[in-house]
Amino acid sequence: MTDPAGLPFVTAAPDDVEAAPEQPRRAWVEHVMGMPVSFHVRGPLARDQSDGAGGAVGAAVRRGIADLHRTDEIFSTYRADSQISRLRRGELTADHCDPWVREVIALCGEARERTGGWFDADLPDSAGVRRFDPTGLVKGWAIERVTRELADALADHDVLVNAGGDLAVRCRRTDTPDWRLGIEDPFDRTQLLATVPLRSGGMATSGTAARGAHILDPHTGRRLDRAGSITVIGPDLLWVDVHATAAFAMGAECVDYLAALEGHLSFVVHPDGTTATITGT
Amino acid sequence: MRRIAIAVMSTISGLVLLFSYHTSLGPQGPASGPAAGGPGAPPGAAGDGGGATAQDDTGGSAGQDPGGSAAPTPTGTQDQQNTGGSSGTFTGDEVATRWGPVQVRVVIRSGKITQAQAVEYPTGNHRDQQINSWAIPQLEDATVRANSAQIDSVGGATVTSQGYIASLQSALDKAHA
């Protein structure tokens, strides 16, 4: 059982703070963007029912859920009428899109640069024509944003959002236990290989265990039918997700890449089943 | 397998009590059931089963035997219903997998997983039985091992609304629903 700790973002509660009594906690689940998204909130008002609607916590979670549905409406490549679909067909230009689209376009460019081209949103479609497809970035971007907004709205509360196996957490409290995250074994998804304590940050895993070969080699456009998985833990889900996707596409080269991600912790399950924990410096 | 079935049955009365509690809160939350496979879902991704909540009725009957096997012997835990929802027995959504429906139940005491079982799993052809005998004991094993670390959530390669871990995650979600 690997239990990495000690990185800046894996901030344990300060020693001089007395542990709070166990806080009320509540979970919500919404199926959106093609996956289950779980929201966990703990803190004094997590189970508040004084207004019959979950109080301030319930309202904040509902705003987050609405935000994800709006994200899906704008960015889904499976919806013919989404702005992304219309952009891909040339019916819209970025200037006429929602500001979110322009933000994502800029982030995709930044992601391509930061990964040396291993993350690329210009992907071949079913006909082999390269089209803008930011799907691989939008999920992390949206979940990170929603998690931050939820935490910003809820003083004295801790939040955890699990979006289909990628996680973002924020703790506003300092007297609560760390969130403890398990990493599943890509060869046997009934098993956990490691656990990670995290108070603030993101954890993303790339691999083919759940969806089969869905990650494309950005250079060749070929589907990567590669065993194993790469989990990256760092301060921001958007970027750990991008790094995990890029590193998975790299294959064996990923070790050097991950080792150079300052302040990040990576857990690699190689195609032969061996594992490595890499602390980026 | 028999041992597992008995263990499952022993927790059922606690489960039923617990779900009567959930149901009273259920309609007020934003959590969605039928949204799986909605208009934005990729084909084949979020299709089946994600929203199925198996045992959420309020009845006191302990005879909810998902496997249709041995008669239940309800000796279950009833120490739940505190503010954090941190103790009790929780059942995940039934999830459609390529092998058939899978459902996971966990027993949580003071915030720690003390037991996990697959309460529903595919039975049928020989291949299915092979998968069951291989997978299900290990699932318990994994979760109980993870218990030492008090898992709040499970991460892994992107899950759709299907699969074992989705089901385990949904049991963890239910534990705090």
Please state, in angstroms and rounded to a whole number, the distance separating the CA atoms of residues A194 and A180.
10
Is B163 in the A-facing interface, judged by CB distances under 8 Å? yes
- Angle at CA of residue B75, ends B117 and B87, nearest 5°: 60
Please state, in angstroms and rounded to a whole number, the distance separating the CA atoms of residues A121 and B118.
39
| Distance (Å) from the alpha carbon of A158 to chain B's nearest alpha carbon | 12
C-alpha dist (Å) from residue B26 to A94, A188, B33, B77: 41, 33, 11, 22
Residue A175 φ then ψ, to 5°: -110, 20
Are B142 and A191 contacting, i.e. CB atoms less than 8 angstroms apart?
yes
Please state, in angstroms and rounded to a whole number, the distance separating the CA atoms of residues A204 and A239.
9
C-alpha dist (Å) from residue B12 to B59, B77, B88, B91: 12, 9, 11, 10
Provide the residue-wise pLDDT of chain A in tens; the chain has 281 residues. Answer: 223 333 334 334 445 567 888 999 999 989 899 888 999 999 999 999 999 888 999 999 999 999 999 999 999 999 999 999 999 999 999 999 999 999 999 999 999 999 999 999 987 777 778 889 999 999 999 999 999 999 999 999 999 999 989 999 999 888 898 888 888 888 877 678 888 888 889 999 998 765 566 677 777 777 777 889 999 998 899 999 999 999 999 988 999 999 999 888 899 999 998 888 888 87
Percent of chain B with pLDDT over 90: 0
Quote the pLDDT of residue A123. Answer: 79
Closest chain A residue to B174, measured at CA: A27
Closest chain B residue to A80, measured at CA: B40
Residue closest to B47 by CA, chosen among B161, B177, B163? B161
Contact criterion met (CB < 8 Å) for B164 and A204: no
**Nearest Cβ partner for B160 among A22, A25, A210:** A210
ipTM score: 0.83
C-alpha dist (Å) from residue B90 to A217, B84, B93, B119, B153: 41, 14, 10, 11, 14
Please state, in angstroms and rounded to a whole number, the distance separating the CA atoms of residues B172 and B177.
9
The sheet with strand A25-32 has its strands ordered as A25-32, A35-42, A158-163, A166-171, A200-207, A229-234, A265-269, A275-279
Contact criterion met (CB < 8 Å) for B32 and A166: no
- From the number of C-beta atoms within 10 Å of its C-beta (0-12, 13-18, 19+), residue A225 rates as exposed
Please state, in angstroms and rounded to a whole number, the distance separating the CA atoms of residues B108 and B25.
20
- From the number of C-beta atoms within 10 Å of its C-beta (0-12, 13-18, 19+), residue B125 rates as exposed
- From the number of C-beta atoms within 10 Å of its C-beta (0-12, 13-18, 19+), residue B39 rates as exposed
Quote the pLDDT of residue B36. Answer: 33
Specify which of B91-95, B96-100, B120-124 reaches the highest per-range mean pLDDT.
B91-95
Specify which of A140-154, B75-89, B130-144, B149-163 reaches the highest per-range mean pLDDT.
A140-154
Label residue B166 by pLDDT band (50, 70, 90): low
3-state SS assignment for residue B99: coil
Please state, in angstroms and rounded to a whole number, the distance separating the CA atoms of residues A115 and A119.
6
Please state, in angstroms and rounded to a whole number, the distance separating the CA atoms of residues B13 and B63.
9
Task: Say which residue, A274 or B164, is predicted with more confidence.
Answer: A274
Please state, in angstroms and rounded to a whole number, the distance separating the CA atoms of residues B35 and A122.
30
Q: State which amino acid sits at residue B27.
A: P
Label residue B162 by pLDDT band (50, 70, 90): low
Tokens of B135: 């997978």
pLDDT in tens, B8-66: 333 332 332 222 222 223 333 333 333 333 333 333 333 333 333 333 333 333 333 33
C-alpha dist (Å) from residue A42 to A110, A231, B85, B175: 34, 25, 11, 13
| Distance (Å) from the alpha carbon of A120 to chain B's nearest alpha carbon | 18
- Taken in order A12, A14, A20, A26, the sign of the CA dihedral is negative
Which chain B residues are Cβ-neighbours of A24 within 8 angstroms? 83-85
Please state, in angstroms and rounded to a whole number, the distance separating the CA atoms of residues B1 and B123.
12
* Chain A interface disruption, residue of B141, B145, B152, B169, most A CBs within 10 A: B152
